[in-house]
Amino acid sequence: MKIDVFGAIFLDKYLYEDDSGIYREEAVGGSGLSIALGLHLLGHDVSFYGNIGNDERGLKVMSKLNSYGFPRENICIMNGITGLFVARNDVVSKVERGVNAFPLGSDIDSLRGEFAVITTELNKESLKKIVSNKWKQMFLDVGPRPSILKEVSLPKDIIKIGNFKESKVVSCHIEKLGPDGARWSDIRVSGNNKVLPYTIGAGDLFDTLLIHGVLRGREKNEVLRLAVELAEESCKIPGGFKLKNVIDKYQKYLEPNSDDE
């Protein structure tokens, strides 16, 4: 099955300081790109649509994506700066949208397919075009800018995902509740109720695992439980792209069902 993912591209920079010293890390970022890369590493056929600048940041991101064998043909290289996300001790300190603020440079007008994953990192006009196209199923993470959806007409069957704060702006089918777990309509999975140190990126990992589970035909309760447990596990290790923190340890739980095609 084919998954088209639409989102922003950032170079993420993380700085952690404590009594033992300073730790720095750079990673590919953006919710849409993180979800697409995660689904790719889990074995899905993914196409990603996003904008990147023709600058040093962009070269770093493309090099990292190449190391993962990630398909890059639908990434549009634009004259401008690549998005930048900076966090210090797991607190966001700087965000530059760069060319993510522009309409998608790739041709999306005629796109039709099986599955689409969308985030509100996108330019609003591009988002409107994507949701107006025909898909077997669409997943929309209403973050990080849920307010732009007030001017967007969404299909009735789109599955909306958001955290507690975002769900107050746009009603979501699936709500990420942090230490309290997650819910999907009337199904609720409890979390560990612990405040963990490295939470940035955990929401993107949750989305990745949830979409992966749905496409593999797993039950909602099982999908939620695994997404919550692995998102919590990932928060014990610093850095942004979380799947790499858990994929080896939990690979047997992430494999397709035996009856998958």
| pLDDT value of position 256 | 59
| pLDDT value of position 19 | 87
Summarised one tens digit per residue, pLDDT across range 195-221 is 999 999 999 999 999 999 999 999 999
For the 2-248 domain, the top CATH level (class) is: alpha beta
pLDDT over threshold 60, residue 127: yes
Tell me the percentage of the chain whose pLDDT exceeds 70.
98
Global confidence as pTM? 0.94
| pLDDT value of position 258 | 40
pLDDT over threshold 70, residue 162: yes
* Tokens encoding 87: 């966090």
Q: How far apart are CA 224 and CA 227, in angstroms?
A: 5
Output b/e per residue, 200-212; b: 16+ Cβ within 10 A: bbbbbbbbbbbbb
Mean pLDDT of all residues in the chain? 93
Crossing angle between the packed helical segments 202-215 and 220-234, to the nearest 10 degrees: 150
pLDDT over threshold 80, residue 182: yes
| pLDDT value of position 261 | 45
Q: How far apart are CA 233 and CA 76, in angstroms?
A: 34
Summarised one tens digit per residue, pLDDT across range 27-40 is 999 999 999 999 99
